[in-house]
């Protein structure tokens, strides 16, 4: 199969078979001498999963770390967390140049400055629509509409063939801000010849076309103009077009915009620096919020996903130090629940309604559109680029499968793959030729642990049934020196008869010890194991659950 | 305000301001001599909330337990868990007769028999549409359509006035099974005069009318008739009309029905006993599943909410001992995600699609309808009953608020209240006159703990940052006898530099002890507290999180 230039290969290390955590690698050359390119380095948010104490999930990049000598660089398509959120944590393992457009670069730098101890990363700022080389890869940026400024598809040209990596995109002729999807360049690339289209599948289950950001802007304008009192709008901070729509509406309604929440402040500052809020009035600090008449203010808040510590949740709980809302005020959720967050968002909405605040969501008003292509848009992309083959990426199994079916109906050859599949893209039709390690890392405090480490599984066990700890001092005659100490946590205080489970456990310690044959009492390990079993059984008989039990034996 | 018969009062102890856990109390008489009635004793499912180790949430009934001498009885409107699921756990605290119609009574008995040690509960089986007295309350059952057989609204007549407690209901002229909503009786009650309608708000945000079960049955029939290979249908087990629709479709398609999952088996047995599957062919046991040709079988499965141990999840993971599916088979989710379960359901769907199995949901096909009234149905109910006042019940703040707004637009006086409000229903317009204790109990293993108990909060702390346990033996000179023992769980093994956190904690124990002034070393409590702080600080500096630390000091 291999020609004089070897093969072009591709492997998703994240984002294919799941939502979020997008990281793709492309390799060029023969197997023993391949140069590599990374496209995107994203995270997933753990709150939707049952991972206690974990905020972020990162792709396990051990495979590409091993290839680091042959790694030419990292290209970031855009600045959403699921495409660039793992850079600060993973770059120290890679230490190669990063290529990003101005807004993405500025947001990465702003993020780095907000995290003490984050690495100083070399960023090559590349212009929109530009063409540049990363090692042997000839990359051309294609501007695409999305829900953040400067989303880019990548044309990747190599001696063995050219492919299109769409990144996140949609078609929006009136995107409020930034460039629409560059149809002309995509058609021209189609004329030139595209072997494989690697395309966003997120919305492949949805019929038709997404409405435009301009339609959303109109709705928001109407809602702000007609509001009888204060208005708060919550949206994804990075959606600068949406922020701009709110600002324009506020100006029409003669209201000041107050920005609430650190993520929102950071994006606003970066958008000002990069010109995306040129011509937009100055926003006001939270300190003036309380002094503005209620019909003269719009609060732009973080917290659209019900995050408990974000601005809107704190406002809904009446726990925000500076920003309050009251009966008759209006809150607009200019957002959509990310699956898994429904319950948390519901809590915020119900908290607001309990205070007599009006809540408007996309259930009844066009106050949000997705940034991903629906089915008619996917068909347009295929008709423009006319790829020989298509590989669905960015999505769960359902989305990949629907995207695949759609492409097949358009007459395109389809390969579906999953994280860790190594796919030969060229020469020849795409084929899975190998498997590479791909998994997940959890960010636990400051430490990255592998998904296989026992830490999280142990914490789940603790959260299910608590822990009993027993300390015994054992002398060399096999006698207890001093009274045993015992502590229970995460276990009900009393059984159904009202007896203390602590007393029951303590009795079990003594009874188990006394029931041991004399010679076994000298063996600390043997005593520990017997007491552990005795305590667990005693608690289980009263509770119906077996706690973890640690028995610490000190030999004195 | 009080006449010769005192007042009629009402208090929701659950279900008003939240979904699930419905329990209402009605009281008649003056404050010192009130007779009480309980309507419904429901649970909530804890999986959607962040309550590790808890399956069920029950209403805290301490208020009515105190009034037990004056409690006349419990009426169950229907057999859904959120209306009758707490009976077995709470009845021993109440010990009064229960009134239920035949299907509800049979399901309660079947549940009791499946739970070893459950109490033997006296049940008065009352016929559909019957009228009976519970203490001073004159109760009349009104059949209403819902998603389970024998749902009943209650007309509650008292000397001071009559009210309607709707329970869960919808309007469905063709409910496949059981009686449609008894419009004539409701209209007649309207003529007689209804002071207050206490009504289901669950679907008050949805416009229009629900489709009929008969429409769903048609869709399911088409999908089973056209299926190329095996079909599995998952639905709420208690929806006997749906089970019957699947059975009828299977018969038309010349397929056998195999029942998979214990909850489904139990409902099928009770439905057979109570006549709700009369004329329906016999179902087959799981043992024959593997022997039937793929185009001759329909599996009726539990697991529509993505419950990890239910039949469908195990089938999707290819872990079910007897039932398997393969590429080309069809799975129908005849259900809707309960908020909070979206992610778990998504996992099951993606697992099936990964195996090439076709998945059909209510997103694209009319394979499910809700059992609760949409807005046009709520308006019908108001127009039939013509209540003087309406109190929205069964729902979160959003649903109650929308139901209230709708009723006001219909010209009805509205009172909104929350769990624990004591409302005077008559004489006079409904008014909140007092507050009674209302809270939540968690079922933790076999033990009911109050929501305020530390158990669950401690388990959350354990799940966030684990625990370090230290054992020290201290002699009367303030010296360590033997080496300290230490154990860590739920904490990463190594810091970012690769050093063991266990070693770091051990060093902190010794250093803290040695840094203590001699006289403090003799005081066990003082040593324990110092070591606890030292260990937590040491771990936090390497991890960024502070674990719980228990220090057990044995005085030898």
User: Is A327 at the interface with chain B, CB within 8 A?
Assistant: no
Q: Specify the higher pLDDT residue, B375 or B285.
A: B375
CA distance B201 to chain A (A): 14
- A171 with A181: CB under 8 angstroms? yes
CA distances from A203 to A210, A392, B312, B394 (A): 10, 11, 26, 34
Please indicate whether, in this complex, the C-beta atoms of B463 and A463 are within 8 angstroms of each other: yes
Instruction: Give burial (CB, 10 Å; 0-12/13-18/19+) of B354.
Output: middle
- pLDDT of B72 reads 98
Cβ contacts below 8 Å, chain A against chain B, sum to 222
- pLDDT of B338 reads 87
Angle between helices A397-409 and A375-385 in degrees, nearest 10: 50
Q: Specify the higher pLDDT residue, B256 or B338.
A: B256
DSSP string, A69-82: GGEEEEE-----HH
Joined together, the tokens standing for residue A388 give: 């020989």
User: Is B524 at the interface with chain A, CB within 8 A?
Assistant: no
d(CA A553, CA B5): 69
Same domain, B20 and B83: yes
Please indicate whether, in this complex, the C-beta atoms of B346 and A52 are within 8 angstroms of each other: no
- Residue A1 in this model has a pLDDT that exceeds 80: no
Provide, as residue numbers in chain B, all residues whose Cβ is less than 8 Å from the Cβ of A350. 17, 396-398
d(CA A409, CA A517): 76
Please indicate whether, in this complex, the C-beta atoms of B447 and A396 are within 8 angstroms of each other: no
- Residue B48 in this model has a pLDDT that exceeds 60: no
- pLDDT of A116 reads 84
Closest residue to B462, CB basis, from A48, A463, A543 = A463
Residues 252-271 of chain B whose Cβ lies under 8 A from any Cβ of chain A: none
User: Is A471 at the interface with chain B, CB within 8 A?
Assistant: yes
- B11 with B24: CB under 8 angstroms? yes
- In this structure, the strands spanning B297-301 and B151-158 are unpaired
Same domain, A37 and A164: yes
d(CA B287, CA B303): 19
Contacting residues for B437 by C-beta, under 8 A, at least 6 apart: B60, B62, B63, B420
Per-residue pLDDT reduced to its tens digit, B117-130: 888 999 999 999 99
DSSP E strands: which ranges in B40-193? 44-45, 56-60, 71-75, 98-100, 123-125, 131-134, 137-144, 151-158, 161-165
Closest CA to B480 of A551, A484, A555, A487: A555
User: Is A279 at the interface with chain B, CB within 8 A?
Assistant: no
User: Is there a domain that residue B2 lies in?
Assistant: no
Same domain, B149 and B14: yes
Please indicate whether, in this complex, the C-beta atoms of A455 and B494 are within 8 angstroms of each other: no
- pLDDT of B3 reads 64
Per-residue pLDDT reduced to its tens digit, B295-306: 999 999 999 999
CA distance B500 to chain A (A): 12
Q: In sequence order, what are the beta bridge partners of B498?
A: none
User: Is there a domain that residue A525 lies in?
Assistant: yes
Closest residue to A397, CB basis, from B340, B354, B463 = B354
Of A408, A431, A447, the one marking the end of a domain is A447
CA distance A538 to chain B (A): 14
Averaged pLDDT for residues A109-125: 92
DSSP E strands: which ranges in A348-430? 358-360, 389-393, 413-414, 421-426
**Residue ranges in B410-447 assigned as alpha helix (H):** none
- A122 with A95: CB under 8 angstroms? no
User: Is B437 at the interface with chain A, CB within 8 A?
Assistant: no
* Percentage above 70 pLDDT, chain B: 99
Closest CA to B103 of B238, B292, B262, B289: B238
Same domain, B338 and B438: no
- pLDDT of B90 reads 97
Averaged pLDDT for residues B81-97: 97
Averaged pLDDT for residues A117-131: 94
User: Is there a domain that residue B457 lies in?
Assistant: no
- A167 with A372: CB under 8 angstroms? no
CA distance A389 to chain B (A): 20
- In this structure, the strands spanning A123-125 and A98-100 are parallel
Per-residue pLDDT reduced to its tens digit, A225-266: 999 999 999 999 999 999 999 999 999 999 999 999 999 999
Closest residue to A489, CB basis, from B343, B448, B462 = B462
Backbone angles phi, psi at B157, to 5 degrees: -105, 135
- In this structure, the strands spanning A44-45 and A56-60 are antiparallel
CA distance B441 to chain A (A): 12
The number of folded domains in chain B is 3
Task: Compute the CA torsion angle B429, B433, B437, B438 (nearest 10 deg).
Answer: 20
- pLDDT of B46 reads 78
Please indicate whether, in this complex, the C-beta atoms of A543 and B453 are within 8 angstroms of each other: no
Same domain, A178 and A153: yes
CATH of the domain at A248: 3.40.50.10710
Please indicate whether, in this complex, the C-beta atoms of B462 and A465 are within 8 angstroms of each other: no
User: Is B447 at the interface with chain A, CB within 8 A?
Assistant: yes
Provide, as residue numbers in chain B, all residues whose Cβ is less than 8 Å from the Cβ of A536. none
CA distance B551 to chain A (A): 9
Residues 173-212 of chain A whose Cβ lies under 8 A from any Cβ of chain B: 205
Same domain, A353 and A421: no
Same domain, B23 and B159: yes
Averaged pLDDT for residues B444-462: 94
d(CA B295, CA B112): 38
Please indicate whether, in this complex, the C-beta atoms of B552 and A556 are within 8 angstroms of each other: no
Determine the residue of chain B that is closest to A556 in CA distance: B482
Per-residue pLDDT reduced to its tens digit, A156-209: 999 999 999 999 999 999 999 999 999 999 999 999 999 999 999 999 999 999
How would you classify residue A360: left for phi > 0, otherwise alpha for psi between -120 and 50, otherwise beta? beta
d(CA B324, CA B97): 45
- In this structure, the strands spanning A56-60 and B161-165 are unpaired
H helix or E strand, kind and range, residue A35: strand A35-39
Provide, as residue numbers in chain A, all residues whose Cβ is less than 8 Å from the Cβ of B116. none
Determine the residue of chain B that is closest to A548 in CA distance: B489
- A237 with A267: CB under 8 angstroms? yes
Same domain, A204 and A218: no
- Residue A361 in this model has a pLDDT that exceeds 60: yes
Of B302, B326, B360, the one marking the end of a domain is B360
d(CA B200, CA B20): 11
User: Is B49 at the interface with chain A, CB within 8 A?
Assistant: yes
Please indicate whether, in this complex, the C-beta atoms of B459 and A455 are within 8 angstroms of each other: no
User: Is B350 at the interface with chain A, CB within 8 A?
Assistant: yes
Per-residue pLDDT reduced to its tens digit, B265-290: 999 999 999 999 999 999 999 999 99
- Residue A349 in this model has a pLDDT that exceeds 70: yes
- In this structure, the strands spanning B297-301 and B231-234 are parallel
- Residue B505 in this model has a pLDDT that exceeds 60: yes
CATH of the domain at B435: 3.60.15.10
CATH of the domain at B546: 3.10.20.580
- Residue B394 in this model has a pLDDT that exceeds 70: yes
User: Is there a domain that residue B495 lies in?
Assistant: yes
Tell the residue number behind the tokens 């007295």, with chain if given. Answer: B133
Q: In sequence order, what are the beta bridge partners of B60?
A: B439
Closest residue to B397, CB basis, from A354, A401, A448 = A354
Q: How confident is the model at residue A509 (pLDDT cuts 50, 70, 90)?
A: very high
Contacting residues for B262 by C-beta, under 8 A, at least 6 apart: B114, B302
d(CA A273, CA A110): 11
Per-residue pLDDT reduced to its tens digit, B530-551: 999 999 999 999 999 999 999 9
- pLDDT of A3 reads 63
Tell the residue number behind the tokens 């407690």, with chain if given. Answer: B165
CA distance B39 to chain A (A): 25
Residue B542 is part of which domain span? 466-555
Determine the residue of chain A that is closest to B465 in CA distance: A53
Query: Exposed e or buried b for every residue in B401-438, given b needs 16+ CB within 10 A?
Result: bbbbebbeebebebbbbebbbbbbbbeeebeeeeebeb
User: Is A55 at the interface with chain B, CB within 8 A?
Assistant: no
Contacting residues for A175 by C-beta, under 8 A, at least 6 apart: A145, A212, A213, A214, A241
Averaged pLDDT for residues A365-370: 96
CA distances from A498 to A501, A503, A542, B90 (A): 9, 11, 11, 16
User: Is there a domain that residue B107 lies in?
Assistant: yes
* Percentage above 90 pLDDT, chain A: 93
Please indicate whether, in this complex, the C-beta atoms of A205 and B492 are within 8 angstroms of each other: no
pTM of the predicted model over 0.90:
yes
User: Is there a domain that residue B435 lies in?
Assistant: yes
Residues 354-413 of chain B whose Cβ lies under 8 A from any Cβ of chain A: 354, 359, 363, 396-398, 401
- Residue A10 in this model has a pLDDT that exceeds 70: yes
**Residue ranges in B9-131 assigned as alpha helix (H):** 62-66, 81-84, 87-90, 102-114
d(CA A46, CA A449): 14
User: Is there a domain that residue A365 lies in?
Assistant: no
Closest residue to A353, CB basis, from B53, B398, B470 = B398
d(CA A149, CA A167): 13
Averaged pLDDT for residues A46-72: 90
Helix (H, G, I), strand (E, B) or coil at A336: coil
- pLDDT of A226 reads 98
Q: In sequence order, what are the beta bridge partners of A26?
A: A10, A37
Joined together, the tokens standing for residue B316 give: 């999707």
Please indicate whether, in this complex, the C-beta atoms of A447 and B496 are within 8 angstroms of each other: yes
DSSP string, B188-210: HHHHH--SEEEEE-TTTTS-S-P
d(CA B91, CA B123): 11
Instruction: Give burial (CB, 10 Å; 0-12/13-18/19+) of A92.
Output: exposed
User: Is A452 at the interface with chain B, CB within 8 A?
Assistant: no
Same domain, A98 and A236: no
Same domain, A68 and A190: yes
Averaged pLDDT for residues A418-426: 97
Same domain, A61 and A186: yes
User: Is there a domain that residue A38 lies in?
Assistant: yes
Per-residue pLDDT reduced to its tens digit, A66-87: 999 999 999 999 999 999 999 9
Q: How confident is the model at residue B49 (pLDDT cuts 50, 70, 90)?
A: low
Angle between helices A454-465 and B454-465 in degrees, nearest 10: 180
Closest residue to A553, CB basis, from B359, B458, B485 = B485
Q: How confident is the model at residue A49 (pLDDT cuts 50, 70, 90)?
A: low
Per-residue pLDDT reduced to its tens digit, A441-455: 999 999 999 988 999
Per-residue pLDDT reduced to its tens digit, B212-271: 999 999 999 999 999 999 999 999 999 999 999 999 999 999 999 999 999 999 999 999
* Chain B interface test: which of A19, A347, A403, A492 (most B C-beta within 10 Å): A492
Residues 29-48 of chain A whose Cβ lies under 8 A from any Cβ of chain B: 48
Of A326, A360, A394, the one marking the end of a domain is A360
d(CA A521, CA B379): 76
- pLDDT of A340 reads 82
Same domain, A384 and A484: no
CA distance A444 to chain B (A): 8
């Amino acid at each position: 199969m291999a020609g004089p230039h070897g093969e072009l290969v591709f492997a998703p290390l994240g984002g294919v078979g799941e939502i979020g955590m997008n990281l793709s690698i492309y390799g060029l050359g023969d197997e023993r001498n391949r140069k590599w390119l990374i496209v995107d380095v994203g995270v997933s948010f753990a709150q939707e999963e049952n991972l206690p104490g974990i905020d972020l999930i990162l792709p396990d990049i051990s495979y590409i770390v091993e290839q680091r000598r042959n790694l030419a660089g990292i290209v970031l398509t855009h600045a959403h967390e699921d495409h660039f959120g793992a850079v600060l944590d993973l770059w120290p393992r890679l230490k190669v140049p990063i290529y990003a457009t101005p807004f993405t670069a500025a947001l990465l730098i702003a993020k780095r400055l907000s995290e003490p101890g984050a690495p100083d990363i070399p960023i090559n700022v590349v212009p929109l629509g530009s063409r540049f080389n990363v090692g042997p890869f000839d990359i051309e940026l294609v501007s695409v509409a999305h829900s953040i400024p400067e989303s880019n598809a990548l044309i990747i040209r190599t001696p063995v063939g050219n492919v299109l990596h769409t990144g996140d995109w949609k078609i929006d002729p009136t995107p409020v801000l930034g460039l629409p999807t560059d149809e002309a360049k995509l058609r021209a690339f189609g004329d030139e010849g595209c072997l494989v289209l690697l395309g966003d599948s997120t919305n492949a289950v949805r019929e038709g076309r997404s409405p435009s950001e301009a339609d959303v802007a109109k709705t928001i304008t109407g809602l702000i103009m007609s509001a009888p009192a204060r208005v708060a709008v919550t949206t994804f901070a990075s959606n600068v077009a949406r922020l701009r729509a709110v600002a324009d509406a506020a100006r029409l309604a003669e209201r000041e915009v107050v920005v609430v929440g650190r993520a929102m402040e950071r994006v606003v500052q970066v958008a000002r620096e990069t010109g995306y809020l040129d011509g937009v009035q100055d926003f006001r600090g939270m300190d003036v919020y309380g002094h503005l008449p209620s019909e003269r203010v719009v609060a732009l808040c973080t917290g659209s996903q019900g995050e408990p510590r974000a601005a809107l949740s704190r406002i809904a709980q009446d726990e925000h130090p500076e920003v309050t809302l009251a009966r008759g005020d209006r809150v607009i959720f200019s957002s959509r629940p990310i699956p898994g967050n429904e319950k948390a968002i519901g809590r915020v909405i119900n908290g607001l309604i309990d205070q007599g605040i009006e809540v408007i969501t996309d259930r009844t008003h066009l106050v949000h559109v997705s940034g991903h292509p629906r089915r008619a848009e996917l068909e347009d992309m295929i008709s423009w680029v006319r790829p020989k083959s298509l590989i669905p990426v960015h999505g769960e199994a359902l989305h990949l499968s629907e995207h695949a079916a759609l492409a097949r109906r358009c007459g395109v050859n389809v390969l579906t793959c999953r994280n860790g599949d190594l796919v030969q893209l060229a020469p020849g039709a795409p084929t899975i030729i190998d498997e590479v390690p791909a998994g997940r890392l959890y960010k636990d405090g400051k430490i990255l642990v592998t998904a296989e480490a026992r830490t999280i599984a142990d914490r789940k066990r603790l959260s299910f049934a608590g822990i009993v700890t027993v300390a015994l001092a054992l002398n060399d005659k096999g006698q207890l020196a001093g009274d045993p100490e015992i502590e229970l946590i995460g276990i009900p205080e009393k059984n159904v008869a009202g007896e203390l489970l602590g007393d029951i456990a303590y009795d079990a310690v003594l009874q188990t010890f006394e029931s041991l044959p004399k010679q076994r009492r000298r063996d600390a390990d043997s005593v520990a194991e017997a007491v552990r079993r005795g305590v667990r059984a005693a608690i289980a008989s009263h509770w119906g659950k077996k706690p973890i039990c640690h028995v610490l034996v000190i030999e004195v």
